[in-house]
Amino acid sequence: MGIIRTLLLASISLMFVVPVAAFAEDRRCNDRKPVNSINEMFSALYACWQPPKGTVGMSITLRFSLRRDGTLIGKPRTTFTEKINNDELSKAFVVSILEALNKSLPVPFTESMGGAVAGRPMTLRFISQEIRDL
């Protein structure tokens, strides 16, 4: 029984470390509907983000942890950037992400989801892509 629990916890931990390309799934910015899955959590975090015009191709991957109440533990750390430099457009891109996190936190976790993610490191990748009309 101990080995099964250890393997299960290890696989759950790996799930939080794998970078995830962020996407919004039927969530509005600062939606207070309880979050009960990883996909819902990332959607809630990503829903407030609007990348600035002219930033297509830029991306940042952040690593962070949340408490069981959905608040941030410490500061997010940048683990990867693409096409980011020290110009004004890059700064606006970074600011848009930080503002989105500020708006979306705390994540309204269900009690079980809050317990599952509390303190675990996770990554979220913000990628500015061209939006096309379908």
**What would the pLDDT profile of 46-74 be if each residue is shown by its tens digit?**
999 999 999 999 999 999 999 999 999 99
Segment 80-87 mean pLDDT: 91
CA distance 133 to 130: 10
Q: For the whole model, what pTM was predicted? A: 0.75
Q: What is the dihedral of CA 63, 67, 72, 76, to 10 degrees?
A: -20
CA distance 95 to 109: 25
Question: In residues, how long is the chain?
Answer: 134
Place of tokens 């996407």: 23
H-type alpha helices, the chain: 2-17, 38-46, 88-104, 111-117
Q: What is the dihedral of CA 113, 67, 8, 79, to 10 degrees?
A: 120
**Residue 19 pLDDT greater than 70, yes or no:** no
Residue 65 near residue 119, CB atoms below 8 Å:
yes
β-bridge mates for residue 127, sequence order = 59
